[in-house]
Amino acid sequence: MDDRRRKRKLKASFKAQERASLEASMPLLKADLRALFEHLDRPEAPPCDHTLRQTLRFLRGRALDPKAVVPWLNYHGGYCDCEVIANVADKYAQLVDYRDGV
């Protein structure tokens, strides 16, 4: 195997491991996280009031445990609704097939 193929294979393996690690760390299903991003980023969403008010409303509406999800969001920079979109979605968008502004 030539050096370029070996490097591509190593890079692909690293990316797969990174993706698996990100997914394993999530306290909710990918579909729920994508739906949260879509909920917070919808055109008619109220402006961020620098709390997790809309996030908490979404979690409770889906019977998801805020005590499990909020610390995880905080760890990834989601301390308010707009930061969930700016920081958490930035890291997890590709994993959950989220497209900004959808």
**pTM, rounded to two decimals:** 0.82
Please check whether residue 21 lies inside any domain of the structure. no
Q: Are 39 and 58 in contact (CB under 8 A)?
A: yes
Give, for all 102 residues of the chain, the pLDDT tens digit.
688 888 888 887 778 787 788 788 899 999 999 999 999 999 999 999 999 999 999 999 999 999 999 999 999 999 999 999 999 998 899 899 998 644
Please check whether residue 37 lies inside any domain of the structure. yes
Domain of 62, in residue numbers:
27-92
Number of structural domains, the chain? 1
Please check whether residue 97 lies inside any domain of the structure. no
Region of 26 (left: φ > 0; alpha: ψ -120 to 50; beta: rest) is: beta
Please check whether residue 1 lies inside any domain of the structure. no
Please check whether residue 101 lies inside any domain of the structure. no
Please check whether residue 86 lies inside any domain of the structure. yes
